[in-house]
């Protein structure tokens, strides 16, 4: 049930899922460990891409187009979110040079 | 044959991913991400998602990543220096993420997939099938997404304007 | 109008007066207060007269207050000769005193004036409720309200610290008595499962017919009734200022003189006597408690008379005299001579109210001076009041033909004639007390009215009191003079109207008064009169026995003893309680709860580090943990 045929060879959907899991994990580590705000945004994009991969893999396995449509929407939203996030970042950078996201910790206590 | 393509693309993606999180300079992270995206688009192709494959390259790698590059160019190169203030952050993060990954891996062992819906594989993932789904079943989300993009564009313009005093 | 309505009217008139004066009295012209205040009391008196002349007897129920299973508590009024007798005294003498106070309190401003009469009407109402109540609950309600009115009236001039302290002392001691009363009622309720007088007395008299827990053995053998009788006696002792709960009465003289006349001579302090008389079925069975009544009365009579000897304030002499005379009444009802005791109640009301009001006239004339050593020579200057005071004094000493002779010798005669040692013992005490009474009354009279005017007199030419203050005094003087002739059992012949009237309710003494008693009574009178006349000739003995003088002046150190044993330890324990419990425990708990919340919030706010990466980590960690739990749940 989990394998499907692509141009002669058989692929198993679980490989794709594993790949997506690895990428997602890498993205999470990046968000947690890196301190440059830009890099954090990039790692978020990585996570979103991993999710897209999962969606499309399942879409193929279940032979339902909805997964791909969802991935399409997800891509759109990711783009919008990246745009707004970067705009905010630019705004902050106008005031001060942020190299370390830990510097933006006024909302504490 | 397809398996080989799969593994090559997968290897590229993983290397790119590692590159994203390791690079000291943000521009290198962006470029690593581009590599990941292109690798992923190949994966999409293997999964009969032709339209998505193209969209990924054109929109994601072509537009969004370029946007990132522009911003990095605007803001200047920045290097992360020092060890950072949070002492336990890295260890705890790795711990939890490891647990998370282990969880997902463990899930694979017992998964049973349901019966696939019968779809016509010859037109699966083509522009026509995407269009059919997008403009009939999912018209409403489609329109909303366009509004979302509009809002994002307005927001970005507003947020990044210079203060007119 | 039917009798039950009339009986209720006796209560309603003073209640209405009190409400009217409390609500609008201070805004209305003074004349309204002057009419309503005494007027309602006189109205109640007239209604009482109507009931008296029609010889009404009945137990009137108006509505049922408590209904619980088989138990019912009605609001009922018990009208019999005893309660009518008391009502006549309360409304009659009370009416005279309230009228008198229209003049005495004239110096007050309108609101205070109305307040005074409000309190007086409340008092009259409460006292009437006390004597008319048909069950223990309303008796206790009246009892408590009377104590409350006394508090209001003693502390009427509330700007004076001494008055406020005296009022508080009176109230506290009255409450001690109230507790005894209530406990006594509890005991009776447990025993008889009923609270109306009719029901309780019927069960005592007819043990075979009792409803519940019927264990009334023969006379003298009922410990429950003894207990109840003693507890009720506590209440009587507190209200009537007998030893040991007597210390409030002299201090109560801080109140205005009409208050002293009404409450602390004529009515409230006699409530204890009424109680014993009303509860005579219980006391007839509980003979130990009954004897205790007589002993307490006799001891108090002597004790108070000794203290009266050294008093310098005219009202204090009269206060201790009151304590002593009530001791006589207790003595009488304690040995079983109920009618004699109640007749003395009536006659004492006459002459003591007379004495207090006449003293009030003097105090009024002497610009509020109460120290007798500063009087002197008033006989020549305020003749009417002096005459009235003399009548009252002679009545107090017990000289023929005044009513005091007939009532006091009536009691002593009954005691003398009673078979058994108790009778003779209390007679002996009463005899000595009568002599002392003669002495201190004489001292009081000679000091105030005779001789040269004192050098430290505040007023050179005192003027006589106005008519509104003289006429009630005059009326009482007439009553004190002529009143004796309605009950002449002390002389062994003549009408005995009072005892005839009362013995329909209270039992007759079981012995006959013998002729020796009459002779002894006359001898007592002569000796007492002699001491009265010769009071000033007895050389001051205080110089010879200064220690006795000191003991008497300190009232046998009762106040000091109570202060040391009760007041100060209570104060200290209250302080300790405040510091130990209130501040530490309660405040601690409250502040501690607040502190706990603060600490909790403080520690929780540590999670708000402000670092974005921390938040993400927590987010991820939480997600992972939830995922683990879910998978663990669904995987097994």
b/e map C612-630, b = 16+ CB within 10 Å: bbbebbeebbeebeeeeee
Mean pLDDT value of segment C42-61: 88
pLDDT of residue C107: 85
Q: Give dist(CA C304, CA C322) in Å, integer.
A: 8
Nearest CA in chain B to C626: B100
A69–chain C nearest CA distance, Å = 26
Test the B interface: residue of A4, A10, A25, A29 with most B CBs within 10 Å: A29
pLDDT of residue C213: 47
Residue B93 resides in a domain: no
Find, among C355, C469, C358, the residue nearest to C402 by Cα: C355
| B143, B135 contact by CB (below 8 A) | no
Confirm whether the ipTM is greater than 0.85.
yes
Average model confidence (pLDDT) for chain C?
85
Neighbouring chains of C at 3+ CB pairs under 8 Å are A, B
A34–chain C nearest CA distance, Å = 9
pLDDT of residue B24: 85
Of C18 and B80, the structure prediction assigns the larger pLDDT to C18
Helix A66-95, helix A37-62: angle, nearest 10: 180
- Cβ <8 Å between A102 and C616: no
Close Cβ partners of C101 (under 8 Å, ≥ 6 residues apart): C37, C116, C117, C120, C256, C258
Domain count for chain B: 2
pLDDT of residue C298: 93
DSSP sequence for C284-316: HH-HHHHHHHHHHHHHHHHHHHHHHTT--BHHH
Mean pLDDT value of segment C259-281: 87
**A35: which chain C residues are within 8 Å (Cβ-Cβ)?**
613
Q: What is the CATH number of the domain that holds B72?
A: 1.20.120.1200
Q: Of chain A residues 9-28, which have a CB less than 8 A from chain C?
A: 28
Residue B44 belongs to what H/E stretch?
helix B26-46
> Which of A43-52, C347-356, C358-367: highest mean pLDDT?
A43-52
pLDDT of residue C216: 46
pLDDT at C13 over 50: yes
Last residue of a domain, one of B77, B106, B139: B77
- Cβ <8 Å between A32 and C616: yes
Task: Please tell me what DSSP assigns to residue C536.
Answer: G
Residue B104 resides in a domain: no
Mean pLDDT value of segment C475-498: 77
Distances (CA, A) of C595 to B83, C434, C580, C607: 38, 71, 20, 19
pLDDT at C78 over 70: yes
Cα-based angle C145, C147, C151 (whole degrees, multiple of 5): 110
Residue B46 resides in a domain: yes
Question: Percent of chain C, pLDDT > 70?
Answer: 94
- Cβ <8 Å between C620 and B110: no
- Cβ <8 Å between C613 and A105: no
pLDDT tens-digit profile of B31-77? 999 999 999 999 999 998 999 999 999 999 999 999 999 998 888 77
Residue B136 resides in a domain: yes
Task: Please tell me what DSSP assigns to residue C135.
Answer: B
pLDDT tens-digit profile of A58-103? 998 888 899 999 999 999 999 999 999 999 988 888 888 777 787 7
- Cβ <8 Å between A32 and C620: yes
Task: pLDDT band for A109, please (50, 70, 90 cuts).
Answer: low
- Cβ <8 Å between C631 and B103: yes
pLDDT at C217 over 50: no
Burial of C109 from C-beta contacts in 10 A (0-12 / 13-18 / 19+) = exposed
Last residue of a domain, one of B53, B77, B101: B77
Interface membership of B90 toward C (CB under 8 Å): no
> Which of A48-57, C48-57, C555-564: highest mean pLDDT?
A48-57
Find, among C396, C401, C407, the residue nearest to C435 by Cα: C396
| C409, C430 contact by CB (below 8 A) | no
Size of interface A-C (CB pairs under 8 A): 29
pLDDT of residue C264: 77
b/e map C386-417, b = 16+ CB within 10 Å: bbbbebbbbbbbbbbebbbbbbbbbbbbbbbb
Whether the link from the prior residue into C244 is cis, omega within 30° of 0, is yes
**Residue B67 shares a structural domain with residue B133:** no
pLDDT tens-digit profile of C567-589? 888 888 888 888 888 888 888 88
pLDDT of residue C148: 94
Residue B99 resides in a domain: no
Ordered by start, the domain boundaries in chain A are: 3-97
**B100: which chain C residues are within 8 Å (Cβ-Cβ)?**
620, 623-624, 627
- Cβ <8 Å between B149 and A87: no
Close Cβ partners of B157 (under 8 Å, ≥ 6 residues apart): A87
> Which of C276-280, C532-536, C630-634: highest mean pLDDT?
C276-280
**C611: which chain A residues are within 8 Å (Cβ-Cβ)?**
102, 105, 108
Please provide the distance, in angstroms rounded to a whole number, between the alpha carbons at the two ends of chain A.
53
- Cβ <8 Å between B40 and A53: yes
pLDDT tens-digit profile of C422-432? 888 888 999 99
Which of B6-15, C91-100, C393-402, C490-499 has the lowest average pLDDT? C490-499
Residue C13 belongs to what H/E stretch?
helix C3-24
Q: C391: which 2 tokens?
A: 């009548």
Residue B101 resides in a domain: no
SS3 content of chain C, % helix, strand, coil (to 5): 75, 5, 20
C630–chain B nearest CA distance, Å = 11
Nearest CA in chain C to B95: C621
Question: Is A3-97 a domain of CATH 1.10.287.3510?
Answer: yes
Mean pLDDT value of segment C160-165: 91
CA C93 to chain centre: 16
**Domain, as residue range, for B151:** 123-165
pLDDT of residue A105: 76
Which of A19-33, C123-137, C344-358, C543-557 has the lowest average pLDDT? C543-557
């Amino acid at each position: 049930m989990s394998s499907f045929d692509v141009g002669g060879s058989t692929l198993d959907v679980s490989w794709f899922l594993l790949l997506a899991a690895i990428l997602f994990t890498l993205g999470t580590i990046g968000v947690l460990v890196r301190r440059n705000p830009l890099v954090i945004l990039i790692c978020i994009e990585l996570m979103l891409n991993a999710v897209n991969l999962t969606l499309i893999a399942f879409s193929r396995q279940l032979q339902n187009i909805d997964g791909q449509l969802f991935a399409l929407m997800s891509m759109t939203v990711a783009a919008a979110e990246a745009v707004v996030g970067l705009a905010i970042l630019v705004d902050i950078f106008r005031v001060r040079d942020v190299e370390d996201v830990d510097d933006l910790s006024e909302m504490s206590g | 044959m397809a398996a080989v393509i799969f593994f090559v693309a997968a290897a590229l993606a993983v290397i790119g991913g590692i590159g994203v999180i390791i690079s000291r300079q943000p521009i290198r992270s962006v470029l690593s991400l581009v590599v990941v995206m292109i690798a992923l688009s190949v994966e999409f192709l293997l999964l009969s998602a032709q339209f998505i494959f193209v969209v990924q390259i054109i929109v994601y790698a072509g537009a969004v990543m370029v946007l990132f590059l522009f911003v990095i160019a605007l803001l200047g190169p920045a290097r992360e220096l020092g060890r950072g203030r949070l002492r336990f952050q890295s260890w705890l993060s790795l711990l939890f993420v490891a647990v998370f990954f282990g969880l997902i891996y463990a899930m694979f062992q017992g998964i049973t997939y349901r019966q696939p819906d019968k779809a016509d594989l010859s037109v699966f993932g083509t522009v026509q099938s995407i269009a059919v789904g997008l403009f009939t079943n999912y018209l409403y989300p489609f329109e909303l997404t366009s509004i979302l993009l509009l809002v994002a564009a307005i927001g970005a313009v507003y947020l990044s304007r210079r203060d007119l005093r | 109008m039917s009798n039950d309505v009339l009986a209720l009217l006796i209560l309603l008139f003073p209640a209405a007066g009190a409400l009217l004066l409390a609500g609008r009295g201070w805004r209305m012209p003074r004349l309204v207060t002057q009419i309503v205040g005494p007027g309602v009391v006189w109205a109640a008196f007239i209604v009482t007269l109507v009931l008296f002349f029609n010889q009404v007897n009945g137990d009137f129920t108006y509505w049922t207050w408590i209904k619980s299973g088989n138990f019912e508590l009605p609001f009922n009024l018990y009208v019999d000769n005893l309660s009518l007798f008391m009502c006549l005294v309360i409304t009659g003498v009370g009416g005279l005193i309230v009228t008198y106070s229209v003049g005495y309190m004239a110096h007050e401003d309108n609101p205070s004036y109305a307040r005074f009469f409000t309190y007086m009407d409340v008092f009259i109402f409460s006292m009437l409720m006390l004597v008319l109540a048909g069950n223990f609950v309303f008796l206790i309600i009246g009892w408590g309200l009377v104590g409350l009115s006394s508090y209001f009236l003693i502390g009427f001039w509330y700007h004076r610290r001494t008055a406020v302290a005296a009022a508080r002392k009176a109230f506290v001691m009255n409450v001690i008595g109230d507790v005894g009363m209530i406990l006594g009622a509890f005991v009776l309720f447990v025993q008889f499962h009923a609270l109306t007088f009719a029901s309780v007395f019927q069960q005592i008299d007819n043990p075979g017919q009792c409803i519940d827990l019927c264990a009334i053995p023969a006379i003298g053998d009922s410990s429950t009734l003894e207990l109840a009788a003693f507890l009720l006696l506590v209440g009587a002792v507190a209200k009537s200022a007998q030893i040991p709960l007597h210390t409030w009465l002299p201090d109560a003289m801080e109140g205005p003189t009409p208050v002293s006349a009404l409450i602390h001579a004529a009515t409230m302090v006699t409530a204890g006597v009424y109680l014993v008389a009303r509860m005579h079925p219980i006391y007839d069975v509980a003979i130990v408690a009954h004897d205790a009544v007589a002993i307490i009365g006799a001891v108090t009579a002597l004790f108070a008379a000794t203290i009266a000897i050294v008093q310098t304030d005219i009202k204090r002499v009269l206060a201790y005299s009151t304590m002593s005379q009530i001791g006589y009444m207790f003595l009488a009802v304690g040995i079983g001579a109920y009618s004699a005791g109640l007749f003395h109640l009536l006659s004492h009301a006459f002459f003591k109210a007379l004495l207090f009001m006449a003293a009030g006239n003097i105090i009024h004339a002497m610009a509020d001076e109460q120290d007798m050593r500063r009087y002197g020579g008033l006989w020549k200057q305020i003749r009417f009041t002096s005459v009235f005071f003399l009548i009252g004094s002679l009545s107090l000493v017990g000289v023929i033909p005044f009513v005091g002779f007939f009532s006091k010798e009536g009691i002593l005669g009954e005691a003398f004639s009673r078979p058994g040692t108790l009778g003779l013992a209390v007679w002996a005490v009463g005899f000595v007390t009568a002599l002392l009474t003669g002495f201190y009354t004489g001292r009081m009279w000679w000091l105030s009215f005779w001789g040269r005017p004192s050098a430290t007199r505040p007023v050179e030419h005192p003027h006589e009191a106005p008519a509104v203050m003289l006429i009630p005094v005059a009326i009482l003087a007439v009553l004190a003079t002529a009143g004796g002739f309605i009950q002449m059992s002390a002389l062994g012949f003549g009408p005995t109207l009072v005892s005839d009237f009362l013995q329909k309710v209270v039992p007759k003494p079981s012995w006959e008064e013998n002729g020796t008693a009459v002779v002894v009574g006359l001898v007592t009178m002569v000796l007492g009169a002699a001491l009265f006349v010769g009071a000033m000739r007895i050389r001051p003995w205080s110089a010879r026995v200064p220690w006795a003088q000191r003991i008497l002046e300190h009232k046998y150190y009762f106040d000091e003893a109570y202060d040391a044993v009760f007041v100060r330890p209570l104060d200290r324990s209250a302080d300790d309680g405040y510091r130990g419990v209130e501040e530490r425990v309660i405040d601690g708990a409250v502040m501690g709860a607040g502190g706990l919340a603060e600490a909790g919030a403080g520690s929780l706010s540590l999670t708000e580090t402000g670092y974005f990466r921390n938040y993400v980590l927590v987010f991820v960690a939480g997600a992972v943990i939830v995922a683990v739990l879910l998978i663990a749940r669904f995987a097994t």
